[in-house]
Structure 1
Amino acid sequence: MKAAVLQGTKQLEVVEWENPRPLTHEVVVKVKSCGICGTDQHIYHGHPGSAEVHPPIVLGHELAGEVVEVGSEVTSLQAGDRVSIDPNIYCGTCEYCRSNRAHLCQQLQAVGVTRDGGMAEYCTVPSANCYTIPDVMTFEEAALVEPLGCVLHGFRKITLSPLSRVLIIGGGFIGQLFLQLVKQQHVQSIVVSEPADNKRELLYQLGADDVVQPMAAAKLEADVVIECVGRPESMELAVKSAAKGGQVLLFGVAAPDTVISVSPFEIFSKELTVKGSFINPYTHEEAIRLIAKKVVDVGSLISHRFTKEELPAAMADYPALRVSKGIINH
């Protein structure tokens, strides 16, 4: 089969790759759509994903497709089933798995990170990581269930009320998902900090009350700040723009060596709550329902579509292409 294989840092090649065979508890999925995550860009540039990456490997942890083969012990799925994949595989035995914090698993594995993923024609996946999707859902939508699941996990870490003034820093794909979820809570106001003018119209359509430049956001006082960028200046902005008693969610994925300058006195004197959010423990089914019922729109957020053959050039030139959300269709 053809696969886009990461051979090393900034080395992605489309090559012939061995067709996968399932273990007893696995299925083979014919990949129909695969999202390109910001984490894939991190991995491409030599950083870890949710776990350490060891090339050569097929990337792609946002994927959906059709089951074409099942392992001998699989009874929950059959050939022809349409599925969306939760890529995260937990050991089930470490202290975190045994205390209802499986996403912090000490032996975390992930499809498209520690084992071959969706940037290929076929992919093997544990049957427990497959979720059947309704006929009304497209494969593109099903591939984007995973990032919505991650956003849901972060969303559950904040408390909102009708009086909440919310600031979302970053109006890209993740910020757009958060915006839709926050809008459902009928908060007092939602402001998005986003420097790219080409995103403003969509952000207003999705429910933003105002879209401002980061310089203007620094002058705000928000009760809840959701940081979706992962850059030092945006994380520092999140703390500065939080009102007294505010909540700060650092959701954007920073490089491992990123360091920010934050005043502990500011956190103390404003009595801020600062939280992180890591991957998507058991949110996949809820995310499927939100998309299927059109509560959250993911399809219209796709800005670029690529073939496998276009991937090496696209990954090398990703920022210049101004990709908000890219997807591969097989």
Structure 2
Amino acid sequence: MQHQDTLTTEKKTATQTYVATMQAAVLTAPKTVEVQEVPLPEPGANQVRVKLEGCGLCASNIPVWEGREWFNYPVEAGNPGHEGWGLVDAVGEGVTDVKVGDRVAALSYKSYAAYDIADADKVVKLPDTLAGKPFPGEPLGCAMNIFKRSDISAGQTVAILGIGFLGALLVQLAKNAGARVIAISQRDFSLDVAKQCGADEVIKMDDHYKIIQKVSELTNGKFCERVVECTGKEWPLNLAGELTAERGKLIIAGFHQDGMRQVNIQLWNWRGLDVINAHERDPQEYIKGIKAAVIAVEQGAIDPEKLYTHTYTLENIGEAFHDLTSRPDGFVKALITF
């Protein structure tokens, strides 16, 4: 298949031909995924095509994997993969800041596939210092943006509820900033991860009132200047409010996507809490976060590699989704690699 004249691709020899198709994961029904041969996408103006090295799995994928009445199946090929990184192998007309061969993290949305298309202004070049290292840019950038919104500084006591990939990164960032960190999570394994990331105290997320009492004891009854909720669940969100000090900041980092929430607004109001929904809808804010993550990894402020606990191929992505949902012991972050 010939590329359009507007595309810049790797040079061909007389014996080379372009592959017209690629492999991609397709969710054909709830809890049913197939690897299909689909057309190779072509970048349009101001777009690039990325030959993917890998893509992270995100907990936000669980509803479409499990099935909800508002989803239609089959889902588009490669969707909902949005944590991809790899090498640019083709660029569209008007692209000047990115070239073929650049290694990038991409903010794109069909990355459970061998290739994906991204807008040229939604990729971040990865430096040689990160060569060969996985870099799921979107969640790393998300952690940086949440940390920025949290306004964490030295001397503060920070509680982080839910130690998955995001929570563990935030433990690292808060410790790097000089804060005292209390990590609260359900799984014993995740509490061990929190310790490895530098948490000063760990508390099992089991009994609402015991947790409040424990944090009160640890803070001489003052509670925490910053509390970050990473679970996306109603009970931990209300617990987070109880743990936030007067005039403190409650940061909602969890993805609350499955309906209404009842919260203790009387408590929030009485304590004068600043409640921050630390989600960014502007893609360029995500790109800023990914760029900040590159620097943070280079400088050692975060070390995500020890959090990549499970790796799968595209062929066993069904197993990956199953583990993402069931969270076997030892599971923090899963990557699909190509």
**What does residue range 213-228 of structure 1 map to in structure 2 within 5 Å?**
213-214=204-205, 215=207, 216-219=210-213, 220=215, 221-228=223-230
How far apart are 1:264 and its partner, in Å?
Answer: 2.2
Taking structure 1 as reference, are residues 310 and 286 closer, same or farther at Cα in structure 2, changes over 3 Å only?
same
| Unaligned ranges ≥5, structure 2 | 1-21, 216-222
Taking structure 1 as reference, are residues 234 and 302 closer, same or farther at Cα in structure 2, changes over 3 Å only?
same
Root-mean-square deviation over aligned CA pairs: 2.3
- Is this contact kept in 2: 1:43–1:53, CA < 8 A? no
For 1:32, give the aligned amino acid.
E
Deviation sequence 1:109-133 (CA, Å, 0-9, x none)? xx22xxxx21111111111112111
173-182 or 251-260, which deviates more: 251-260
* Cross-structure match for 1:120: 113
Deviation sequence 1:84-125 (CA, Å, 0-9, x none)? 11x2xxxxxxxxxxxxxxxxxxxxxxx22xxxx211111111
Cα distance in 2 for partners of 1:290, 1:84 equals: 15
| Unaligned ranges ≥5, structure 1 | 88-110
How far apart are 1:10 and its partner, in Å?
Answer: 3.0
Taking structure 1 as reference, are residues 197 and 186 closer, same or farther at Cα in structure 2, changes over 3 Å only?
same
Taking structure 1 as reference, are residues 234 and 296 closer, same or farther at Cα in structure 2, changes over 3 Å only?
same
Taking structure 1 as reference, are residues 313 and 30 closer, same or farther at Cα in structure 2, changes over 3 Å only?
same
**What does residue range 46-125 of structure 1 map to in structure 2 within 5 Å?**
46=67, 55-59=75-79, 60-85=81-106, 87=107, 111-112=108-109, 117-125=110-118
Cα distance in 1 for partners of 2:336, 2:111 equals: 9
* Cross-structure match for 1:132: 125
Cα distance in 2 for partners of 1:139, 1:236 equals: 41
- Is this contact kept in 2: 1:227–1:234, CA < 8 A? yes
* Cross-structure match for 1:173: 165
Cα distance in 2 for partners of 1:210, 1:13 equals: 43
Identity %: 27
Deviation sequence 1:136-195 (CA, Å, 0-9, x none)? 21455322x2212112222222233433111000111110111111111212x2100012
- Is this contact kept in 2: 1:166–1:225, CA < 8 A? yes
* Cross-structure match for 2:249: 247
Cα distance in 2 for partners of 1:161, 1:125 equals: 35
- Is this contact kept in 1: 2:57–2:324, CA < 8 A? no
How far apart are 1:294 and its partner, in Å?
Answer: 2.4
- Is this contact kept in 2: 1:14–1:312, CA < 8 A? no
Indicate whether 1:34 and 2:55 are aligned.
yes
* Cross-structure match for 1:186: 178
1:6 alignment partner, SS class: strand
- Is this contact kept in 2: 1:74–1:127, CA < 8 A? yes
Cα distance in 2 for partners of 1:244, 1:157 equals: 18
Question: Of residues 261, 266, 281 in structure 2, which corresponds to 1:259?
Answer: 261
1:303 alignment partner, SS class: strand
Taking structure 1 as reference, are residues 320 and 180 closer, same or farther at Cα in structure 2, changes over 3 Å only?
same
Cα distance in 2 for partners of 1:303, 1:263 equals: 36
Indicate whether 1:324 and 2:332 are aligned.
yes
Cα distance in 1 for partners of 2:50, 2:152 equals: 39
How far apart are 1:198 and its partner, in Å?
Answer: 1.6
- Is this contact kept in 1: 2:28–2:73, CA < 8 A? no
Taking structure 1 as reference, are residues 165 and 218 closer, same or farther at Cα in structure 2, changes over 3 Å only?
same
* Cross-structure match for 1:270: 271
Cα distance in 1 for partners of 2:192, 2:131 equals: 25
300-309 or 70-79, which deviates more: 70-79
Cα distance in 2 for partners of 1:22, 1:126 equals: 9
* Cross-structure match for 2:198: 207
1:226 alignment partner, SS class: strand
* Cross-structure match for 1:232: 234
Taking structure 1 as reference, are residues 134 and 309 closer, same or farther at Cα in structure 2, changes over 3 Å only?
same
1:28 alignment partner, SS class: strand
* Cross-structure match for 1:5: 26
Indicate whether 1:298 and 2:304 are aligned.
yes
1:217 alignment partner, SS class: helix
Taking structure 1 as reference, are residues 159 and 299 closer, same or farther at Cα in structure 2, changes over 3 Å only?
same
* Cross-structure match for 1:23: 44
Taking structure 1 as reference, are residues 140 and 62 closer, same or farther at Cα in structure 2, changes over 3 Å only?
farther
